[in-house]
């Protein structure tokens, strides 16, 4: 069996078994190198060279994480959540219509933020721990299915850098994808990467529409529990899934 396939399958198995992701990556790489006949020394050298090639990306993610923590401790996400919750509670006879509008607006806003995080405001995934935890209580109040929120986040994050060669998409499509294909000896001069990735991107669009308008459209009940948001307010009310 192909050593790369074995290494990837082993890494995925360890991840499912809740082994730390860094340890799972190392064990998978070690197994793949040994199965390919590189030997222990050759495997370690290749592993270190691979880490060096990704140092630029790793540094970017570290800086984004620091930025996320700084904004979280400022308390701005909590202020946004409290404003939205107060706006919902102040609604009177038009409450049902207003809640429906707010539910769809929140999904659209989260998806738009995920898209912009890849290019216009290049913070990548750093906005998730800033924005989502304080909004959990608002989602509970709206009876919004969090699985729909997860689908909106996934679509905005993945499809953008998978299809558009801008911002983080340029790093993935040009530096990583086409770069590794070129290193393997293939000619990439005539490849239109957007055309090549249009099929999986279209699949992501179909999946988002099915998730939001069909599978997870119905309201879902959640229990409010105190959670630590890590922000300047200390705790907020989030929730775990109750009966659907």
Phi and psi angles of residue 179, each rounded to the nearest 5 degrees, phi first: -60, -45
Phi and psi angles of residue 235, each rounded to the nearest 5 degrees, phi first: -125, 160
Q: Which tokens in the block code for residue 21?
A: 């992701």
Q: Whole-model pTM?
A: 0.65
What's the pLDDT at 116? 85
Using CA atoms, how far residue 143 sits from 39, 88, 216, 239, in Å, is 55, 12, 11, 11
Residue 148 near residue 216 (C-beta atoms within 8 A): yes
Phi and psi angles of residue 3, each rounded to the nearest 5 degrees, phi first: -65, -35
Rounded to whole angstroms, the Cα distance separating 102 from 88 reads 9
What's the pLDDT at 150? 94
What's the pLDDT at 172? 84
What's the pLDDT at 22? 78
| Angle at the Cα of 136 from the Cα atoms of 133 and 138, rounded to 5 degrees | 135
Rounded to whole angstroms, the Cα distance separating 161 from 170 reads 7
Minimal CA–CA distance to 142: which of 186, 164, 170, 110? 110
What stretches in the chain show pLDDT beneath 70? 1, 52-78, 80-81, 84-95, 226-244
Phi and psi angles of residue 225, each rounded to the nearest 5 degrees, phi first: -135, 155
């Amino acid at each position: 069996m192909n050593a790369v396939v074995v290494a990837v399958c082993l890494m995925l198995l360890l991840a499912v078994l809740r082994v730390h992701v860094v340890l799972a990556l190392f064990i998978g790489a070690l197994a793949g190198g040994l199965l390919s006949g590189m030997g222990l020394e050759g495997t370690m050298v290749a592993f270190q060279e691979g880490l060096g090639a990704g140092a630029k990306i790793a540094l970017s993610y570290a800086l984004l994480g620091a930025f996320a923590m700084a904004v979280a401790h400022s308390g701005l996400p909590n202020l946004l959540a409290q404003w939205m919750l107060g706006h919902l509670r102040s609604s009177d006879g038009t409450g049902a219509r207003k809640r429906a509008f707010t539910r769809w607006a929140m999904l659209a806003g989260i998806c738009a933020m995920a898209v912009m995080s890849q290019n216009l405001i290049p913070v990548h995934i750093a906005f998730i721990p800033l924005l989502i935890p304080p909004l959990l209580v608002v989602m509970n109040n709206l009876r919004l299915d969090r699985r729909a929120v997860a689908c909106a986040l996934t679509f905005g994050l993945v499809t953008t850098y998978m299809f558009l060669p801008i911002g983080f998409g340029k790093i993935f499509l040009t530096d990583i994808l086409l770069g590794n294909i070129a290193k393997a000896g293939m000619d990439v001069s005539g490849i239109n990467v957007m055309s090549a990735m249009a099929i999986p991107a279209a699949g992501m669009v179909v999946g988002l529409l099915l998730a939001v308008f069909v599978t997870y459209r119905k309201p879902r009940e959640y229990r409010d529990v105190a959670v630590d948001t890590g922000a300047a307010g200390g705790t907020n009310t989030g929730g775990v899934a109750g009966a659907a």
